[in-house]
């Protein structure tokens, strides 16, 4: 009786171990995916704040000012994806903001407001190279009624340089991580299926066709992959909510659409890798001789 139980135990499929291993692999992938998502959101937020400051000449009429505004709005380089793309700041508004931030009433000290009416022009990210920014600056300066155009060159250069470096590093890490995850899941399933090799051979000996043998194993692998993906997604959701509750302003970088896409990717990745690994492992056992199975 004990021998029978022992044989059954040896031939059993370690379902719990397989699910745990796949879940951990997907969870690590998910955590890294969140870091990538946050880095992209941070880049987007920085790029949204890249603006041209267009200062107007004094004593322009309302009609002249609106002509400049409409001309700016018609340009292809203006980013209208996050608002109008062109924001008007009067010299009085600028003075009030400066006084509120510094606590110094320079208007009262000087006796007049030396600031100028201005437009803050959001620039589309496709034009964020220094060459394109200089072309835009030159183009705006030629408009009638424009006094001066300014943007922070150092910020543009820094953002472009760092984004390129970080992008290359992330691509390398993603490639290494995905290969590691695929190998880990593949090895886990190969070890699990090793205990099923004689069952596979028995089915083959009684005349079962290849796909008849494969089907139940592939369905089970897909189920384990889906279950692991769901568990990893639930854990990742909990970790994300916990991190946002503990770290101030982290929610600003959290994109719900990107996060749901990541969770869906984990679910699909778990199923695809599990099914493919199972398929190739069983096909290998089907081709082995009895001596090789031992």
pTM, 2 dp: 0.70
- pLDDT, mean of residues 192-221: 72
Give the integer Cα–Cα distance in Å for 68 and 54. 10
Residue 2: pLDDT band (50, 70, 90) is: very low
Token reading at 252: 């600003």
Give the integer Cα–Cα distance in Å for 194 and 293. 9
Q: Which structural domains are found in the chain, ordered by start? A: 2-45+159-293 (no CATH), 51-151 (3.30.70.3040)
* Spatial contact of 257 and 43, defined as CB atoms under 8 Å apart: no
pLDDT in tens, 11-48: 456 778 888 888 998 999 999 999 888 888 888 888 88
Going by C-alpha positions, the residue among 76, 82, 75 that lies closest to residue 44 is 82
Which value, to the nearest 10 degrees, does the dihedral of the CA atoms of residues 58, 64, 68, 73 take?
140
- Could you give the count of Cα atoms lying within 13 Å of 161 in the half-sphere of its Cβ? 7
């Amino acid at each position: 009786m004990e021998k029978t139980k022992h044989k059954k135990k040896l031939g059993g499929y370690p379902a719990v171990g397989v699910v745990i291993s796949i879940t951990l692999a997907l969870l690590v992938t998910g955590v890294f995916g969140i870091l990538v998502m946050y880095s992209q959101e941070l880049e987007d937020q920085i790029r949204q704040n890249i603006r041209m400051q267009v200062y107007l000449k004094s004593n322009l009429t309302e009609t002249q000012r609106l002509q400049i505004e409409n001309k700016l709005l018609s340009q292809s380089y203006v980013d209208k994806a996050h608002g109008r793309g062109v924001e008007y700041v009067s010299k009085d508004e600028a003075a009030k903001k400066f006084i509120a931030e510094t606590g110094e009433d320079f208007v009262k000290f000087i006796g007049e407001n030396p600031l100028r009416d201005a437009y803050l022009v959001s620039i589309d990210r496709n034009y964020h190279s220094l060459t394109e920014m200089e072309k835009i600056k030159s183009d705006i300066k030629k408009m009638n009624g424009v006094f001066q155009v300014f943007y922070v060159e150092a910020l543009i250069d820094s953002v472009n340089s760092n984004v390129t470096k970080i992008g290359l590093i992330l691509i390398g890490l993603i490639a290494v991580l995905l290969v590691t995850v695929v190998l880990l899941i593949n090895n886990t399933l190969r070890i699990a299926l090793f205990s099923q090799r004689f069952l596979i051979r028995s089915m083959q000996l009684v005349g079962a066709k290849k796909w008849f043998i494969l089907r139940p194993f592939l369905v089970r692998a897909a189920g384990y992959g889906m279950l692991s993906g769901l568990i990893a997604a639930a854990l990742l959701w909990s970790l994300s909510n916990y991190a946002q509750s503990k770290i101030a302003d982290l929610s600003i970088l959290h994109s719900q659409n990107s996060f749901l896409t990541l969770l869906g990717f984990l679910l699909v990745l778990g199923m695809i890798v599990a099914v493919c690994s199972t398929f190739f492992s069983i096909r290998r056992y089907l081709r082995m001789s009895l001596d090789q199975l031992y």
